[in-house]
């Protein structure tokens, strides 16, 4: 549901609203939307690595550095919204097709330690909800 909720949240928002940080020193709505696409792509790949490799290393990335790259600061939202649409469709299909035994497979995140698929699913569901709130805050603050 996240991609549709994000699309609804940003629909009709002005440039001023999209550029407004959700809190003092926080990211703009534009940055949050691009971050969701970046972060969820990384998480999807981590999930696939866990299923296809034995105890893979799950590389972290510097999300703050990614958020200040030009495409993340000022790029149009539609490419990231489209990524979220397609990615979440694939991710849901991936999760739905997993055998029960796959849910406790483990990958080793370079910052967070051991992570199972069930933990990743819980974490990224909460991640999406948190950032959807940030998007709504930023838009309403402008």
pLDDT in tens, the chain (142 residues): 999 999 999 999 999 999 999 999 999 999 999 999 999 999 999 999 999 999 999 999 999 999 999 999 999 999 999 999 999 999 999 999 999 999 999 999 999 999 999 999 999 999 999 999 999 999 998 7
Domain tally, the chain: 1
Q: What is the pLDDT of residue 14?
A: 96
Quick one: which H or E segment has residue 94? helix 78-97
Which tokens hold the place of 68?
């200040």
Domain, as residue range, for 119: 2-141
Question: For 100-123, how does the pLDDT look when each residue is reduced to its tens digit (9 = 90+)?
Answer: 999 999 999 999 999 999 999 999
Predicted pLDDT at 142? 76
Distance CA 142, CA 137 (A): 9
- Kindly list the strands in the beta sheet with 106-109, ordered across the sheet, starting from the edge strand earlier in the chain: 57-58, 106-109, 113-116
**Which pLDDT score is estimated for 61?**
96
- Residue 103's nearest CA partner among 57, 45, 51, 46 is 51
The Cα–Cα gap between 2 and 88 comes to 8
The CATH number for 122's domain is 1.20.120.450
| Residues 113, 95: Cα–Cα separation, whole Å | 22
Would you state the pLDDT for residue 129? 97
Strands annotated E in 1-142:
57-58, 106-109, 113-116
pLDDT at 140: 93
Angle between helix 78-97 and 29-52 (nearest 10): 30
């Amino acid at each position: 549901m996240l991609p549709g909720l994000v699309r609804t949240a940003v629909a009709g928002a002005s440039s001023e609203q999209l550029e407004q940080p959700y809190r003092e020193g926080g990211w703009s709505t534009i940055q949050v939307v691009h971050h969701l696409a970046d972060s969820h792509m990384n998480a999807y790949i981590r999930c696939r690595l866990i299923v296809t490799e034995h105890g893979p290393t799950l590389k972290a990335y510097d999300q703050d550095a990614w958020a200040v790259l030009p495409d993340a600061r000022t790029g149009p939202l539609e490419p990231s919204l489209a990524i979220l649409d397609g990615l979440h469709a694939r991710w849901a299909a991936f999760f739905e097709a997993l055998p029960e035994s796959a849910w406790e497979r483990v990958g080793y995140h370079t910052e967070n330690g051991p992570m199972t698929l069930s933990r990743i699913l819980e974490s990224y569901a909460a991640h999406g909800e948190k950032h959807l709130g940030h998007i709504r805050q930023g838009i309403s603050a402008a």
